[in-house]
A and B are shown apart, each in its own frame.
Chain A
Amino acid sequence: MKIAVSAEGQELNSPVNPRFGRCEYFVIYDQQTGSIEAIANPGTSGAGGAGIKTAQALANKKIDVVLVGNVGPNAVETLNAAKIDIYSGITGTVQESIDLYKKGALTKTNQPSVDSHFGLK
């Protein structure tokens, strides 16, 4: 089970970034091995379709679950097609959000929470 969290930095104590397609990094926690890895978000550049590129990158990393603040329609469609579960409601740091997920305190969703280009505003 690989869990990715949208974040501003590359550590467990990095603040989360609620913008899915425009966050700086994803911190990836592997529940099996307990290992932590960070990947730079390739979707941050470009005028549109950021969430699509981001979702494809997570699919390439074989992510099972992504923890987000907000997520747009095209990102959701791509994540759903990649069979990556989306949980929203992250807050504080990456570690705090992973703990919330483990406690079942995050909301599973397959719907966008914001409209296109929200992360640019």
Chain B
Amino acid sequence: MIISVASGKGGTGKTTVSTSLALALDRIRPVLFLDCDVEEPNAHIFLKPAIATTEKVHRPIPMIDYDKCTYCQNCSDICAFNVLAVLEKTVLIFGELCHSCGSCWYQCPEKAITQTDKEIGLIESGKSQNMDFSNGKLNIGEAMSPPLIKAVKAKISPKKTTIIDAPPGTSCPVITSVKDTDFCILVTEPTPFGLNDLKLSVEMLREIGVPCGVIVNRADIGNDDVLRYCTRENIPLLMQIPFDRKIASLYAKGTPIVVEMPEYIEKFQNVYFEIERMVQS
């Protein structure tokens, strides 16, 4: 079972939910935690894993074989991202713009374009208590995170319950993170901003066919519009976490809720059992 944790709006409590859910499950089954928010991974602050291995992740970008290149400009014409500038005696390659689609090397009439690896970031893996843990860290200045997110997701093992902490929003990195997961928990707050971005997330998940449920964090602020929306759209409300000073101060210290507030262990385990029921039915 693969459960992703996402949110349209940032700062609603994705990591609060994902880390506590993972720790609650870690007591009863084998768990793998993947932090796919590779632009600013933060789950390690709460799970404090002992990192055992670090591996570099690359993606292919074009490289010109000047012995074969005829400067025909076919590659710069077909590239949708303007990665290549073909000049009189040289070809400039702006690798940071490249989406690694392969059009240029597949379609070069002279077979003058080969692939070279561009390092985009790294994956750190280790253990936090019994749990296996991996996160991706995107290199500063690297614009494209999906290739690194896919490399993190390659760690998914059918033997373990996988919890994926997704980036905020509804863009490519989020879609890459939640795609092909069995269920997505959407964390939101009961405010107009939270509702607006929740709607966007729900539409996105329906588009890619991932079932979802909602956890409302800071449940005492704002209004009931989020709850009404969930009822109207038949989206299960999995849990409500109150707007509680203690929870906020635990978060600020990097302590997961379930560590200091054990009454939440069962609550998070119940969220999992409910998801399991929904996915199996």
Question: Can you name the residue of chain B whose Cβ is closest to the Cβ of A51?
Answer: B82
A81 to B93, CA, bound (A): 12
A50 to B80, CA, bound (A): 10
- Partner-A contacts on B (CB < 8 A): 73, 76, 80-88, 90, 92, 94, 97
Using a Cβ cutoff of 8 Å, how many contacts connect chains A and B?
Answer: 48
Are B88's CB and A59's CB within 8 A? yes
Are B92's CB and A78's CB within 8 A? yes
- Partner-B contacts on A (CB < 8 A): 43, 46-50, 52-53, 55-56, 59-60, 74, 77-78, 81-82
A56 to B85, CA, bound (A): 6
Residues in chain A near residue B80, CB distance under 8 A: 46
Residues in chain A near residue B76, CB distance under 8 A: 53, 56
Chain B interface, DSSP helix/strand/loop, else mixed:
loop
Question: In the complex, how many angstroms separate the beta carbon of A118 from the nearest chain B beta carbon?
Answer: 15
Residues in chain B near residue A55, CB distance under 8 A: 85
Question: In the complex, how many angstroms separate the beta carbon of A82 from the nearest chain B beta carbon?
Answer: 5
Residues in chain A near residue B97, CB distance under 8 A: 48-49, 52, 74
Are B82's CB and A82's CB within 8 A? no
- A-B contacts, 9 of them at CB < 8 A, read A46-B82, A48-B81, A48-B82, A49-B83, A52-B92, A56-B76, A77-B92, A78-B85, A82-B87
Question: Can you name the residue of chain A whose Cβ is closest to the Cβ of B83?
Answer: A49
Given A52-B82, A56-B73, 11 more pairs with CB closer than 8 A: A43-B82, A46-B82, A49-B81, A52-B92, A53-B76, A53-B82, A56-B85, A56-B86, A60-B73, A78-B87, A81-B90
Are A46's CB and B81's CB within 8 A? yes
Contact among B73, B82, B87, B88 for A49, CB-based, below 8 A: B82
A82 to B221, CA, bound (A): 59
Question: In the complex, how many angstroms separate the beta carbon of A49 from the nearest chain B beta carbon?
Answer: 3
A53 to B86, CA, bound (A): 9
Question: In the complex, how many angstroms separate the beta carbon of B103 from the nearest chain A beta carbon?
Answer: 14
A74 to B88, CA, bound (A): 17
A106 to B253, CA, bound (A): 56
Question: Can you name the residue of chain A whose Cβ is closest to the Cβ of B143?
Answer: A48
Question: Can you name the residue of chain B whose Cβ is closest to the Cβ of A84?
Answer: B87
Give 9 closest A-B pairs by Cβ, nearest first: A49-B82, A52-B82, A78-B85, A56-B85, A53-B82, A82-B87, A52-B85, A49-B97, A59-B87
